Chains A and B, each alone.
Chain A
Amino acid sequence: MDFPVFHLDFFGNRWLIATIAILHVLVNHGLAVGMMPLVAAMEWYGQKKQDPRWDRLAYKILFFCFLITTTIGALTGVGIWLSVSLVNPYSIASLIRVFFWAWFTEWLVFITEVCLILAYTLTWKKWSNQGPEKKKQHIRLGFALAFFSWVTMAIIVAILGFMMDPGNWLTDHSFWTGVMNPLYIPQLAFRTPLAAAMAGIIALFLILFFTKRQDGFRHEALRAVALWTLAFAPFVLAAGWWYYTSVPDAMKDNLGVSLATLAFADWQTKFLQIAVVTVVTILLVVQFAISRPNLLPKVALVVPFFAILWMTGHFERVREFIRKPYVIGQYMYANGMRVDDYALLQRDGVLTYATYSNPLTEAEKAGLPERLSEPERTARLETIQKGKDVFMDTCSRCHTGHGVNSITSHLQRMFGDKPWTPELTAGYIEGMHYAQPYMPPFPGSKAELQLLGAYLEHLQHNKAPIPGAQSAGVIVHDENAGRIATKTNQTEAAAR
């Protein structure tokens, strides 16, 4: 990391990205990609049956989606960029260099999508009153919107697949080999019906708010939307299985050790169990909605609604998890260091090439042994400062000091209250990637391992939060500072 280090020591940096990203996926899949074809289909059905109740319901659902997608949906999309560029600027900057044109194209599609949703929503009432031909045009507008919503997802999934397994891009670095990575098509095949099913479940929930209890139409609508949801369920299962079985192959390339596969298998099994329970619950409720809609209480629809939201969130978490120890498979580790950088950094040290240092606050300096002389104290603080810099540059992208997924909680679990001496912790960290294959190997030199060890020892006694560059700023390492003024003077002197 050669940027000032943004750091959130309470919740952790990953929490920031995860919150924004999962919220975005839920809105994008549930209310845009899956919902727009459902709304257009409702409008079409209402037109076909000459039943204005379908038209009213479709408009209410669309208006709800319009409000949410153009606020939370659009902004969390931008938020993913902003949060990733804060937390891991090296990875997003690298991805942008590879996928600039994919993102650019996605942006053009996004513009089209926003224009279409504005047009589709704002012209609904006006066009509906201008006769059947205009209504047909409006319905076509709805399906066009649905198509463009899907295309934006289809482009982004290529990048997500690439991050998990870049495939042949590692050797030829070309755009198209990056796009056609091994996990792209299975993931897209899975997300497409998942989005449709998710939209169905959300629509079932919304129908209860947008229709009256005594209204017979409520049952009709519940039954139809439940059928929609049910129709996509087999595709979710089939594509899910395809994706599920494609992942371990990618994993094999990423992680060469059986431990990783074993640990992943644990997660996988757990996820599978949860997924089965979720799907069964959803199917039960959906069956109920089809056969006995009049007996369906609101609360019964809350269950599948939250279940599918939870499952999708968990699915994204697994996707992130299996990528480890990389942030871009086999190219860049989760700590932001490229695999190719390791030989140099381990030889010369990470700090040798770090431009910035992360100043210790007064609170962070507390907890030193009391009987130290002033020179000893200064020397100790210098070591702790360097150790902190090693921590910030190599660990802090995933770990906090004392918050969520804190390094101290891991050390406490392993070593308890006995002194966390540098010998103890440095020895462990040096080989941790063998025992825990999701961890990147330590990128620094042997001397830096000792510095990190000294800092961790300090953290055992000092519970002060570790500030990021956003509040404490940075110190510029002298040896990495440029001398522009001098250089300019020299140039001017030469010119004279």
Chain B
Amino acid sequence: MNEIPVPRDIPLPMPAPEPVLIGVLIIFFLMHIVFVNFMVGGAFLTLWYQLRGLKEKRYDDLAYEIAATITANKSIAVVLGVGPLLAINTLYTVYFYTANALTGAFWISIIPLVIVAFVLTYIHKYLWHQMERMKWLHIGLAIVVSLLFLFIPLIFLTNINLMLFPEKWGTIRGFFSALMLPNVFSRYAHFILACPAMTGLLMVWLFRRKNEAEIAATGFERVELIRKGYQWAFWPTAAQFVIGPLALLTLPETQESIHSVIAVFGVAILVSMGMAHLMFTETRRPAETIGKSFAPICALMLVVVGLMGAGRHLYREAAVAPHRELVRAKTEDYMRKVEEANREAAAKGGDVRTSQ
């Protein structure tokens, strides 16, 4: 027999039909996460090229080009995160808030950590040339930013994972014990690898649209820059063929079957293979033809990201659906008792000790 906490829900109706809320959650979350990928991947790539720039100046200039994208992407990432947060609050109130409370100290520390990361990102970008003489301090800033961007998603992931397993809630003693639940690290690795891959595609887009003078200023040929972008996109994506199935295989068992989840992720793997093949082909193309598969690659990436979002949602539903029925029944039972107690109190002449 498995003892699981069954709390009651908020006794107010849902403000919108469930499919609408699910749509808001999935679509806007995917948009949010893509910009988070750009932001985190941008920070990693900036650091990487800045380190290479110590020996060869043009890499430092390339690092600056990438750093310039982070600050706008981070603002869009934050703002796009608010809608899904609102939807998850509404759809999974009991699950989300419980996970938040059980990891509360780290959960709330997201706010100061992100503020610090963003302020350092601004300092790093806007004082780039003034800090030329303090290169290691400047690189130190990029390291701190990268570490913060590495850690913050782990807090989110731990919460999102913990909310799915009510049977674990009674065993959790703070953030680190929630971190040790199965699946956290494999999902985390899956996310982290996606960051340079997405930023690689962003690089391709960026360097395809810059004019000749801007490209010349970087000290690289356009084809070199585009190829670098594709290499960043391809190699982490190749690694995902190991990490992705690992994340899938370590998903904890659920009450309901997850055949549909496996099917969706299976299709995603197939589409990813096609996409990875195109990416690899692009890395080998000459200057005349490089970039011609960019639109199909982006379209396939969109499909993969969409399938990931759908599979993720199906798994979440499979994990919580039976428990949600118990919560619903418990809430209804509670509300019946509330009404009965209020009738009883009214019959006794309103002897509830709330009168002021």
> CB within 8 Å of B: which residues of A?
2-6, 16, 20, 67, 70-72, 74-79, 81-83, 85-86, 89-90, 92-94, 96-101, 103-104, 107, 110-111, 114-115, 118, 122, 175, 255-257, 260, 338-344, 346-348, 353, 355-356, 430, 433-434, 437, 441-442, 468-478, 480-488
Tell me which residues across on chain A come within 8 A of B80, comparing CB atoms: 111
Q: List, in ascending order, chain A residues with CB within 8 A of B97's CB.
A: 3, 85, 89, 93
Chain-A contact segment, one of B109-117, B195-203, B286-294: B109-117
Contact B72 A343 (CB under 8 A): no
Q: Which of B100-120 contact A (CB under 8 A)?
A: 100-108, 110-111, 114-115, 118-119
Q: List 5 extra interface pairs beyond A470-B106, A484-B322, CB under 8 A.
A: A67-B122, A75-B118, A79-B108, A83-B111, A437-B356
Render B2-41 as a binary contact track against A, CB cut-off 8 A, 1 for contact: 1111111011111110000000100000000000000000
When C-beta atoms are compared, the residue in chain B nearest to A331 turns out to be B12
Tell yes or no: B354 within 8 A of A by CB: yes
Known: A75-B111, A75-B114. A70 touches B338 (CB 8 A): no
Q: How far is the CB of A21 from chain B (nearest CB, A)?
A: 12
Query: Which residue, B13, B93, B342, has most C-beta atoms of chain A within 10 A?
Result: B93
Contact in complex: B78, A480 (CB < 8 Å): no
Closest Cβ of chain B: how far from A82's Cβ, in Å? 6
| A2: B residues at CB distance < 8 A | 7-8
| Complexed CA–CA distance, A473 and B93 (Å) | 19
Q: At the interface, yes or no: B299 with Cβ under 8 Å from chain A? A: no
Stretch binding the partner chain, chosen from B44-52, B165-173, B181-189, B306-314: B165-173
Whether A476 contacts B102 by the Cβ 8 Å rule is: no
Greatest chain A CB density within 10 A among B75, B119, B167, B172 is at B75
Chain A residues near B340: list those with CB within 8 A: 344
A98 close to B86 (CB less than 8 A): no
How many angstroms between the C-alpha atoms of A99 and B78 in the bound complex? 21
With both beta carbons as reference points, the residue of chain A lying nearest to B334 in the complex is identified as: A353
Q: Tell me if B89 is interfacial: C-beta within 8 Å of chain A.
A: yes
Which of A67, A97, A473, A488 is in CB contact (< 8 Å) with B102?
Answer: A473
**A47→B170 CA distance, assembly (Å):** 64
User: Is A97 in contact with B13, judged by CB distance below 8 angstroms?
Assistant: yes
Query: Shortest Cβ distance from A173 into chain B, in angstroms?
Result: 8
Smallest beta-carbon distance A229→chain B, Å: 28
How far does the alpha carbon of A83 sit from the alpha carbon of B144 in the complex, in Å? 25
DSSP majority for the A interface? helix
B249 at the interface (CB under 8 A from A): no
Q: Determine which of B15, B107, B114 lies in contact with A96 in the assembled complex, contact meaning CB atoms within 8 Å.
A: B15
Contacting residues, chain A, for B323 (C-beta < 8 A)? 482, 484
Whether B130 is near chain A, meaning CB under 8 Å from some CB there, is no
In the complex, how many residues of chain B place their beta carbon closer than 8 angstroms to a beta carbon of chain A? 77
CA distance A6 to B108 in the complex (A): 11
CB distance from A290 to the nearest CB of B (A): 34
B325 CB, nearest partner CB in chain A, Å: 9
Q: Are the CB atoms of B326 and A482 closer together than 8 Å?
A: yes
| B79 contacts A86, C-beta separation under 8 Å | no
Shortest CB-to-CB span from A116 to chain B, Å, is: 11
Residues from chain B with Cβ under 8 Å of A74 in the complex? 75, 78-79
Residue contact A86 to B104, C-beta cutoff 8 Å = yes
**Among A107, A257, A485, contact of B1 (Cβ-Cβ < 8 Å):** A485
The answer to whether B298 has its CB under 8 Å from any CB of chain A is no
B5 touching A356, Cβ below 8 Å: yes
Q: Is B147 an interface residue (CB 8 A)?
A: no
Residue B6 contacts which of A101, A255, A480 (CB distance < 8 angstroms)? A480
Contact of B342 among A78, A115, A343 (CB under 8 A): A343
Minimum CB–CB distance from B151 to chain A (whole Å) comes to: 16
Given contacts A3-B101, A70-B118, A488-B322, contact A82 B111 (CB under 8 A): yes
Interface residue? B296 (CB, 8 A): no
Is there contact, CB below 8 Å, between A118 and B326?
no
* Pair A470/B102 contact, Cβ less than 8 Å: yes
Whether A433 pairs with B75 at a CB distance below 8 angstroms is no
Q: How far is the CA of A341 from the CA of B345 in the complex (A)?
A: 12
Q: State which residues 208-266 of B face A: CB under 8 Å.
A: 255
Jot down 9 A-B pairs with beta carbons below 8 A, ordered by A.
A3-B94, A3-B101, A75-B78, A83-B111, A93-B89, A100-B86, A342-B354, A344-B342, A474-B169
Bound complex: CA of A473 vs CA of B5, how far in Å? 13
CB-defined contacts of B3 to chain A, threshold 8 Å: 476, 478, 481-483
B354 touches A339 (CB 8 A): yes
B8 to chain A: closest residue by CB: A2
* 7 A-B pairs with least C-beta separation: A470-B104, A100-B15, A344-B341, A485-B2, A482-B6, A79-B111, A481-B3
Q: Which residue on A lies nearest to B2, using beta carbons?
A: A485
B153 at the interface (CB under 8 A from A): no
Q: Is B55 an interface residue when CB atoms closer than 8 A count as contact?
A: no
Chain A residues, CB < 8 A from B111: 20, 75-76, 78-79, 82-83
Contacts of A104 in B (CB 8 A): 24, 83, 86
Q: Is B57 an interface residue (CB 8 A)?
A: no
Q: Would B10 and A482 count as touching, CB distance under 8 A?
A: no
How far is B167's CA from A487's CA once the two chains are assembled, in angstroms?
14
Contacts of A114 in B (CB 8 A): 75-76, 78-79
A379 to B284, CA, bound (A): 76
Q: Give the residue name and chain of the A residue nearest to B121 (CB).
A: A71
Q: Is B133 an interface residue (CB 8 A)?
A: no
Look across to chain A and name the residue whose beta carbon is closest to the beta carbon of B109.
A82
- Given A107-B83, A480-B6: A86 and B322 within 8 A (CB)? no
Q: Please, which residue of chain B has its CB at the minimum distance from the CB of A469?
A: B101
Which single member of A20, A341, A442 contacts B353 (CB below 8 Å)?
Answer: A442
- Closest chain-A Cβ to B116's Cβ sits at a distance in Å of 9
Q: Residue on B with the closest CB to A356?
A: B5
CA distance A64 to B9 in the complex (A): 44
Asked whether any CB of chain A lies closer than 8 Å to the CB of B274, the reply is no
* Contacts A70-B118, A71-B115 given; does A475 touch B93 at CB 8 Å: no
Contact of A107 among B86, B106, B118, B122 (CB under 8 A): B86
Q: Closest approach, in angstroms, between the C-beta of A392 and any C-beta of chain B?
A: 12
In angstroms, Cα B173 to Cα A90, docked, is 22
State whether A100 touches B119 (Cβ < 8 A). no
Q: Knowing A344-B337, A469-B104, A484-B322 touch, does A78 contact B173 (C-beta < 8 A)?
A: no
The answer to whether A484 touches B255, judged by C-beta atoms less than 8 angstroms apart, is yes
When distances are taken between beta carbons in the complex, the residues of chain A under 8 Å from B4 are: 476, 481-484
Q: A172 to nearest B CB, angstroms?
A: 14
B72 CB to closest chain A CB (Å) equals 6
> Which chain B residues numbered 307 to 356 have a C-beta less than 8 Å away from chain A?
322-323, 326, 334, 337-338, 340-342, 344-345, 352-354, 356
Q: Smallest CB–CB gap between B61 and chain A, Å? A: 20
Residue of B nearest to A431 (CB): B353
Chain B residues whose C-beta falls within 8 Å of the C-beta of A434 in the assembled complex: 356
Hey, which chain B residues are within 8 Å of A94, CB to CB?
10, 12
Name the A residues within 8 Å of B14 (CB-CB): 97
Q: Which residue of B lies closest to A344 (CB)?
A: B341
B356 touches A4 (CB 8 A): no
A256 vs B97: C-alpha distance when bound (angstroms) = 34
Bound-state CA distance A89–B94 (Å) is 9
Given A75-B115, A93-B10; A471-B173 close (CB under 8 Å): yes
Report whether A346 and B352 are in contact in the complex, using a CB–CB cutoff of 8 Å.
yes
Q: Are B356 and A433 in contact (CB-based, < 8 A)? A: yes
Q: How far is the CA of A89 from the CA of B7 in the complex (A)?
A: 13
User: Shortest distance in angstroms between A351's beta carbon and chain B's nearest beta carbon?
Assistant: 14
| Distance in Å: Cβ of A487 to nearest Cβ of chain B | 7
